[in-house]
């Protein structure tokens, strides 16, 4: 050992540097999280007031979906020790607001909304396109969910196009949405799973039409009028990713959320909101004309819009 190694000044300096470095590294996560997203309350925090306001002011014609989602998400996020992940299945025709609602939920939980690295969106035709690769997809999906929940228990997984997903694939995530405290040391109980599907839309439309024919307001439609019919339709549809799935058979889907077909007044509301979002002053005459020019059914009565609000943004350019 050299004389320098025994120098008390050098030794003291080395210990001081090491101690300072250790202290910095201990504080480093706090410093880092000031500049990049972390799985911490400052980045993940539920805003009930924001969710309620967004559902009321941005989602049109969906009194039932708004009510169910607000109660389900609020109850889950306020529970520090949920027994299982929150599982929502959103159903209805294209343009009724399913994708939009999943974005609203993300925006009121994650600081970065849909851009959060803790929010994961899967589209069946993009991520799972080949039936022959089903075994590989199952393995990849399980690994993806386990890895991301391990990194952040408050992860959200959104599965779009469930009506185009290969039957059997979604069963691979059954263990992660069940009532297990942990699996291989990982708890999935604080995660959120959201499924989006057009399946069940026919049953939803029929109930809405029956109410209209009976002279009853759509706001009278309750969850009990639709949930059983939707869940059975989804479970028994051979072209659905939910076909005979254990997620339904074992009652692991917390809510089947129906999205009603939109009426002309709702199309006008969507158009008005779109103009405002573009910084334009709403042109009521143009909005009414655009809404009237869209296709409605039944053909003679023209009650419900065939395409909902999904095409509003592009169609508005023609009228304004």
CA dist., res. 243 & res. 89, Å (int): 14
In order of start, what are the domains of the chain with their CATH numbers? 48-258 (3.40.50.300), 264-319 (no CATH)
Q: Does 308 carry a binding-site annotation?
A: no
Which pLDDT band, with edges at 50, 70 and 90, does 112 fall under?
very high
Q: What does the pLDDT look like over 71-97, one tens digit per residue? A: 999 999 999 999 999 999 999 999 999
Q: What was the pLDDT predicted at 80?
A: 93
pLDDT at 190: 98
Is residue 97 annotated as involved in ligand binding?
yes
Residue-level pLDDT at 19? 56
Query: pLDDT tier at 250 (50, 70, 90 boundaries)?
Result: very high
Residue predicted with more confidence, 17 or 238: 238
Chain mean pLDDT for the chain: 90
Q: In this predicted structure, which of 17-31, 154-168, 245-259, 294-308 has the lowest mean pLDDT?
A: 17-31
pLDDT tens sequence across 153-171: 999 999 999 999 999 999 9
Query: CA 313 to CA 295: how far, in whole Å?
Result: 16
pLDDT of residue 98 exceeding 50, the answer is yes
- Is 2's pLDDT higher than 60? no
Query: Residue range 125-144: average pLDDT?
Result: 95
The pLDDT of 115-144, averaged and rounded, is 96
Is 125 among the annotated ligand-binding positions?
Answer: no
* Residue 61 among known ligand-binding residues: no
How confident is the model over 189-243, as pLDDT tens digits?
Answer: 999 999 999 999 999 999 999 999 999 999 999 999 999 999 999 999 888 899 9
Q: Show the tokens assigned to 69.
A: 């989602």
Quick one: pLDDT at residue 35? 85
81 is in an annotated binding site: no
Which residue's structure tokens are 């604080």?
A: 190
pLDDT of 96: 95
pLDDT(30) > 80: no
Residue 320's Cβ-side half-sphere holds a number of Cα atoms within 13 Å equal to: 21
Q: How far is CA 228 from CA 73, 287, 302, in A?
A: 21, 37, 28
Query: How far is residue 83 from each of residues 60, 70, 253, measured CA to CA in Å?
Result: 32, 19, 13
Stretch 40-50: mean pLDDT: 97
């Amino acid at each position: 050992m050299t004389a320098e190694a025994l120098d008390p000044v050098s030794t003291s300096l080395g210990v001081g540097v090491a101690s300072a470095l250790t202290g910095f590294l201990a504080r480093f996560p706090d410093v880092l999280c000031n500049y990049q997203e972390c799985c911490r309350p400052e980045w993940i925090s539920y805003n009930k007031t924001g969710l309620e306001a967004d559902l009321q002011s941005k989602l049109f014609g969906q009194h039932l979906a708004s009510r169910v989602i607000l109660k389900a998400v609020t109850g889950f996020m306020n529970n520090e020790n949920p027994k299982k992940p929150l599982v929502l299945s959103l159903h209805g025709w294209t343009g009724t607001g399913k994708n939009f609602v999943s974005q609203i939920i993300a925006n009121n939980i994650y600081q970065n909304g849909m851009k959060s690295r803790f929010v994961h969106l899967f589209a069946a035709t993009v991520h799972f396109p080949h039936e022959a690769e089903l075994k590989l997809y199952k393995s990849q999906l399980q690994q993806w969910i386990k890895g991301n929940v391990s990194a952040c228990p408050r992860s959200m997984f959104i599965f779009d196009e469930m009506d185009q997903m290969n039957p059997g694939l979604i069963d691979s995530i059954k263990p992660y949405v069940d009532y297990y405290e942990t699996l291989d040391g990982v708890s999935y109980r604080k995660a959120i799973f959201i499924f989006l599907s057009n399946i069940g839309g026919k049953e939803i439309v029929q109930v809405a039409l029956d109410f209209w024919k009976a002279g009853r307001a759509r706001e009278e439609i309750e969850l009990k009028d639709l949930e059983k019919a939707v869940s059975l339709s989804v479970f028994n549809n051979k072209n659905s990713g939910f076909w005979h799935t254990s997620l339904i058979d074992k009652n692991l889907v917390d809510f089947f959320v129906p999205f009603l077909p939109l009426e002309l007044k709702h199309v006008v509301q969507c158009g008005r909101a779109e103009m405002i979002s573009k910084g334009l002053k709403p042109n009521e005459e143009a909005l009414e004309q655009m809404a009237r020019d869209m296709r409605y059914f039944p053909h003679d009565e023209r009650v419900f819009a065939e395409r909902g609000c999904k095409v509003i943004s592009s169609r508005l350019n023609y009228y304004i």
